[in-house]
Amino acid sequence: MHTFVETVSVTGAVAVAIVGTIMTLSLFYKALAWLSSTGAKPERLAVRGILQKDTLTTVHLSDRQTFERVRLVGFTNSESVKYRLPLELNEMVILSDEKETRFLVRASDIKMIVVAAAS
């Protein structure tokens, strides 16, 4: 009986140490993810001399749909841990029209972006 108690106490102590370590690490990484996700904003999309912050463009999609007089606000970045978006919503371009309506369009679906000449 004495060897059974010693064996159970040693394995119990090892099991408690492993479970405690796993719980501590999971709480640490959860807190780290929470801290890095606060204040997440889309990455700005700007090309010097062509696309400024308020440039109105026409965006043509591969399915022949057109968004006219929209601004390219930014895009969702799949490499960033700051977004709490499903995987399907990564790598999307954010468009905004003059009424501040926002559109998320898959970046691979954009066929052409037309920037009208400044008058």
Higher pLDDT: 113 or 35? It is 113
Inter-residue contact 112 to 60 (CB < 8 Å): yes
Tell me the pTM. 0.52
pLDDT above 70 as % of the chain: 74
Average pLDDT, the chain: 79
* pLDDT tens figures, 99-110: 989 898 888 888
**Confidence check: pLDDT of 25 > 90:** yes
What is the CATH number that goes with domain 43-115?
2.30.30.100
- The residues, ordered by sequence, that sit 6+ positions from 95 with a Cβ below 8 Å of its Cβ are 59, 67, 70, 71, 72, 73, 102, 103, 104, 105
**Confidence check: pLDDT of 82 > 60:** no
* pLDDT tens figures, 59-77: 999 888 899 999 888 777 6
* pLDDT tens figures, 28-46: 999 888 777 655 555 555 5
- Taking the C-alpha atoms of residue 61 and residue 19, their distance in angstroms, rounded to an integer, is 52
